[in-house]
Structure 1
């Protein structure tokens, strides 16, 4: 299902608190840090770019990626989350596609890397559907998958 009402808006004084109030389901809670932690992290690591995910005019999710290459010689996606009330509507996939379209313009872009917990079947399905490949890279409890350009 293609969701064309989704847009990304850089985190700002009008949407940061709405992002802090978003939650994933209890089953997903162990897979991702709270958005408030990610927002704080972005204030201390200037290479991180945080965004609110909107569906029409409502904040429904949060994502963040790095603008500097890191491990595996790639640009890393740090967070992608959609509030539990809005999951299953194609919002996460649409937001990820928008993010990838932004990231391809980063300097010397050749790969994007995202890490996620192996038990997170929804994340696995999402990244696989977008062409990310698992080459066996692991960072603690997370697997890292790569999309090459």
Structure 2
């Protein structure tokens, strides 16, 4: 990993490169294609925060957060539903894993969530051998005991600035 890591918004100039980003074949069952993520971001622009991960001029990943979403969860005594923010999608290009790009992307999502005043980040992952569970647990996420469809829900408290 170099000091030239950065996130970029998806633009007309880089959207085709984003759609061409592929994870390793054995990971395809764990993450949706970037094109689908971008379509979902387009359909829900108030919720989605899609970004591309670059190392210098090289596209190495894609991350998308969901921000300030109400899920109809039990709220505080005043009856208000709690907001949730978290990691919606993460894809690191085939051959680029293990270089810190995923951690960089998750850290950037956490920073954005903190900037917006939230104190917890949520993530879901599909269970299975070769899946992302170990990665998320190493970053500090813990299982909540909830499921979102067939995916495990994890969360992590963010540092209190």
For residues 20-44 of structure 1, give each alpha carbon's deviation from its aligned partner in whole angstroms, at most 9, with x where no partner exists: 0011122111111110011111111
Match of 2:78 in 1: none
Unpaired segments of 5 or more residues in structure 2? 74-81
- 1:141 corresponds to 2:146: no
- 1:63 corresponds to 2:72: no
Match of 1:78 in 2: 88
Aligned CA-pair RMSD: 1.8
TM-aligned CA deviation for residue 122 of structure 1: 5.1
Match of 2:121 in 1: 112
Instruction: Report the structure, 1 or 2, having the larger helix content.
Output: 1
Q: 5 Å matches for 1:114-133? A: 114-119=123-128, 121=130, 123-133=132-142
TM-aligned CA deviation for residue 4 of structure 1: 3.3
- How many residues align structurally? 147
Match of 1:92 among 89, 93, 102: 102
Task: Describe the shift of the 1:3–1:140 C-alpha distance in structure 2 as closer, same or farther (beyond 3 A).
Answer: farther
SS at match of 1:98: helix
Rg larger in 1 or in 2? Answer: 2
TM-aligned CA deviation for residue 50 of structure 1: 0.7
Q: 5 Å matches for 1:31-50? A: 31-46=30-45, 47-50=47-50
For residues 83-105 of structure 1, give each alpha carbon's deviation from its aligned partner in whole angstroms, at most 9, with x where no partner exists: 11211211111221122112211
TM-score (normalised: structure 1):
0.88
SS at match of 1:103: helix
TM-aligned CA deviation for residue 111 of structure 1: 1.6
- Distance between the aligned counterparts of 1:43 and 1:95, measured in 2? 20
TM-score (normalised: structure 2):
0.82
Unpaired segments of 5 or more residues in structure 1? none
SS at match of 2:123: strand
- Distance between the aligned counterparts of 1:5 and 1:70, measured in 2? 35
For residues 96-135 of structure 1, give each alpha carbon's deviation from its aligned partner in whole angstroms, at most 9, with x where no partner exists: 112211221124x132111011116552222222221112
